[in-house]
Amino acid sequence: MEKENKLYEGKAKIIYSTSDPSLVIQYFKDDATAFDARKKGTIIDKGVYNNKISTVIFELLEKEGIPTHFIRQIDDREMLVKKLTIFPIEVVIRNRIAGSLAKRFGMEEGGELQTSILEFYYKNDALHDPMINEDHIRVFGFAKDDDLAYIKDISHKINRILTGFFDELGIILVDYKLEFGRTPSGSICLADEITPDGCRLWDKKTLKKLDKDRFRWDLGEVEDAYQEVFKRVCKEADIQ
């Protein structure tokens, strides 16, 4: 399996083709963006931390029966994944009030939710990823009804696994984004990454933010936060 051409460069990752048409390489960059890429910066070694954190989490989810695009970690910044056709939908799962939910409803950050809230956004940078509902998804054909039902069901399962996993690390999984895609044979897999870039992670004791909000809001100790999550995740996975 040889690395070939750059297929796509996003804000935080680059996708390369390989000699196997069913597989691509996902390269994790140190680049960070926020607020529709109006804020840009670098988080030193973020790519290394995010690659490892995602690896551990994808391996955990696979072990728990969740299909993911993950095949294996290649090196510090690269992982081999299945080539998917990505649904143009972002699934956001919220366990506590924070971010745009707090803003939209004028609520204070941190409040616990009785049950998790699942939201959908249309993946479209030019439109700033507008929030959508299941009717938009169905009528505009972003996903078929049975695919959406499966995505919802598996998202709830992922949430049960990940809230427990992070809880054991002393971390509250406040909210996060998931993406899904389909293999050429038709099966649906979890895609993208699960990292402090796309999750809000708070220390359980101090409520210190250990995620990209430190970069978004210039809270300082950005690298330290990513490294802290990396250390706790690797310790749990028994990686030295």
CB of 145 to ligand C5P, least distance (A): 24
CB of 198 to ligand C5P, least distance (A): 3
Q: Which is nearer to ligand C5P, 75 or 167 (CB)?
A: 167
Find, among 171, 233, 162, 234, the residue nearest to 205 by Cα. 171
CB of 24 to ligand C5P, least distance (A): 20
CB of 221 to ligand C5P, least distance (A): 18
160: tokens are 């049960």
CB of 185 to ligand C5P, least distance (A): 28
Q: What is residue 29's DSSP assignment?
A: -
Q: Which residues bind ligand C5P (CB under 6 A)?
A: 90, 92, 99-101, 129, 175-177, 198-200, 212
**140, amino acid identity:** F
Between CA 98 and CA 170, with CA 90 as vertex, the angle to 5 degrees is 45
Nearest residue to ligand C5P, by Cβ distance, number only: 99
CB of 26 to ligand C5P, least distance (A): 15
Q: Which is nearer to ligand C5P, 92 or 225 (CB)?
A: 92
Q: Which is nearer to ligand C5P, 125 or 145 (CB)?
A: 125
Between CA 41 and CA 49, with CA 43 as vertex, the angle to 5 degrees is 145
Q: Which is nearer to ligand C5P, 22 or 100 (CB)?
A: 100
Q: Which is nearer to ligand C5P, 92 or 154 (CB)?
A: 92
Cβ atoms of 178 and 192 within 8 Å: the answer is yes
Which residues, in sequence order, are CB contacts of 224 under 8 Å at separation 6+? Answer: none
Q: Which is nearer to ligand C5P, 78 or 179 (CB)?
A: 179
CA distance 231 to 45: 13
**Burial class for 8, CB neighbours closer than 10 Å (0-12, 13-18, 19+):** exposed
Task: Indicate the SS3 state at residue 198.
Answer: coil
